[in-house]
Amino acid sequence: DYADLLTDDEIDRLENLANQHGKKHEIDFIIVTTKDADNKDIIPFVEDFYDEMAFGFDKPNGNAAILALDMSKRDVYIAGFYKGKKYLDNKRVDLIREKMTPDLSSGNYEEAFTTFIETGSRYMRYIPGVNP
């Protein structure tokens, strides 16, 4: 939470939720907030963040789904890697973003991030390409 949007308690709850859902589907659910995305566009920021931090449930740089929020540009990006990319295709990612937007706009960041984890986890139960 580089943008300081969450309290320590909120971070703990989200980490527990991400771990719980991640174990079910063998994927890391990652949330990163930033004030300026290191002066990059959000997509290269997320790609570099994934590479540098080596997230992945099964191995470094493995199965992951990352939600990034850049507060300077009010930009939201969700990316899947390996299993995350297979199950969270562009249509599903758009659906997740649409569900999160009201909470993001209202500053309810914990609720928005909970939606990302829970909805992403739910979509992992469906065959790729089938929109629930």
The verdict on residue 55 lying in a domain is yes
Asked whether residue 1 is domain-assigned, the answer is no
Looking only at the bridges linking them, the beta strands covering 28-34 and 64-70 are: parallel
Return the pLDDT at 23.
96
| pLDDT tens across the length of the chain (132 residues) | 889 999 999 999 999 999 999 999 999 999 999 998 888 899 999 999 999 999 998 899 999 999 999 999 989 999 999 999 999 999 999 999 999 999 999 999 999 999 999 999 999 999 888 777
Per-residue CA distances from 12 to 7, 19, 48, 62, 104 (Å): 9, 11, 25, 23, 19
Say if 42 falls within a structural domain.
yes
Q: What are 51's two structure tokens?
A: 């590479």
Residue 48 counted as domain residue: yes
Residue with tokens 């199965």: 63
pLDDT for 129:
80
10 Å CB burial of residue 106 (0-12, 13-18, 19+) is: exposed
Residue 113: inside a domain, yes or no? yes
Per DSSP, the three-state class of 132 is coil
What confidence score (pLDDT) does residue 54 get?
93
DSSP conformation class of 122: H
Asked whether residue 82 is domain-assigned, the answer is: yes
Classify residue 2: in a domain, yes or no.
Answer: no
Nearest partner of 99 among 53, 58, 67, 72, judged by Cα: 67
Report how many domains make up the chain: 1
Q: Which of 125, 122, 108, 121 is nearest to 29 (CA)?
A: 121
Within a domain: residue 15?
A: yes
CATH of the domain at 88: 3.10.310.50
Query: Which secondary structure element, helix H or strand E, spans residue 70, and what is its range?
Result: strand 64-70
Which range marks the domain in which residue 47 is found? 8-123
